[in-house]
A = this chain, B = another copy of it.
Amino acid sequence: MINCLLASTSTLYGGQYLDYLFDALKDLYQNTNEVLFIPYARPSGISHKSYTDIAAKAFNQIGKKIVGVHTFENPIAALEKTQGIFTGGGNSYVLVDNLYRFGLMDKLREVIITGTPYLGTSAGSNIAGPSIRTTNDMPIVYPPSFDTLGIVPFSINPHYLDPDPASKHKGETRETRIKEFHAFNTTPVIGLREGSWIRVQKNETTLLGGGLSAWIFEKDRDPYELPVGSSLGFLK
C-alpha cells in the first residue's frame, strides 16, 4: 500500500529546510533509520553532493541518516533495498531526465506502490502525478518524456499562488496556465499552497498542513477550494 507525503515546498518563509514537516516525517519513516535521497533536481544548479548534505543536516535532527542515490554504482539496487525515499525539489525537467537516464522511473514507481515510504517536495511531489505538465519550472533540459510516476491520479501544481488582484503584470496567472493545461489534458490538478501537503496512507488520500486550503481544477468545471483535512480520494 502506498505510503507517501507530497509537500508543496521544502521550506516555509522564515523556517529551516523541512522543519515544519519533522513530526510528519517521524511518522512517515517510523520503521527506518536510513532514507535514500534523490538529489537530481539540483535547485539553483547545486551539486548532488551539496544537495544531499542539506538534506542530511535536516534529517539528522529527527535521528535519521540520509544517503544520496548518486553515490551508488547500482542505483536500481539501492532503490530496491531502501526502506525510505525522499526526492527533493529543484528543476522538474532535470529530475525527470535523470530518472529516465539512469533507468529509475519504473523501479521508483514499483517500490512506492509496494509500500516504501516516499517523501516528495516541490518537483519531488510533481513527479508523483501522471506527468510534469503542471510544473512551474523552466524547461532547461529536454527529457525523453513528460510522463512520471502516476502513483496519484491527479497532477500537483506546487508553490500554488492565488492570482494577485492588484497586479499590473500581464503574464499568465497560475490559474490561467492550469486552464490552458485542461484545453489539452483531462487529469485533475491540485493547486497546493506552500505549507500544505498530501498524505497517501492506508488507501486514504488527505489534504493536510498549514496551507488552509487547496484549489481543485477539473476539466470543464469551475475551480473550487477544499479545506485542509479533506479527502482527495474522489479525484480520478
- Report which A residues bind B (CB closer than 8 A): 9-14, 42-45, 90-91, 94, 122, 132-142, 145-146, 158-159, 161, 168-172, 176-185, 194
Q: How far is the CA of A156 from the CA of B9 in the complex (A)?
A: 28
Closest B residue, CB atoms, query A92: B139
Q: Is the interface of A mostly helix, strand, loop or mixed?
A: loop
Copies in the complex: 2
Q: Distance in Å from the Cβ of A186 to the closest Cβ of chain B?
A: 12
Q: Which residue of B lies closest to A159 (CB)?
A: B171
A92 → B minimal CB distance (Å): 9
Question: Is there an interface contact between B44 and A176, defined as CB atoms closer than 8 Å?
Answer: yes
Contact B137 A133 (CB under 8 A): no
Counting from the closest, the 8 A-B pairs by CB-CB distance are: A45-B183, A159-B171, A13-B168, A140-B181, A138-B177, A142-B146, A9-B170, A140-B184
If A13-B168, A170-B194 touch, whether A43 touches B139 (CB-CB below 8 Å) is no
Instruction: Please tell me if the beta carbons of B169 and A161 are within 8 angstroms of each other in the complex.
Output: yes
* Closest chain B CB from A179 CB (angstroms): 6
**A178 CA to B138 CA, complexed, in Å:** 8
22 A-B pairs with C-beta separation under 8 A: A9-B170, A10-B170, A42-B180, A43-B172, A44-B176, A44-B180, A44-B183, A45-B179, A45-B184, A90-B180, A91-B180, A133-B139, A135-B139, A136-B138, A136-B172, A138-B178, A138-B181, A140-B183, A141-B184, A142-B145, A159-B169, A170-B194
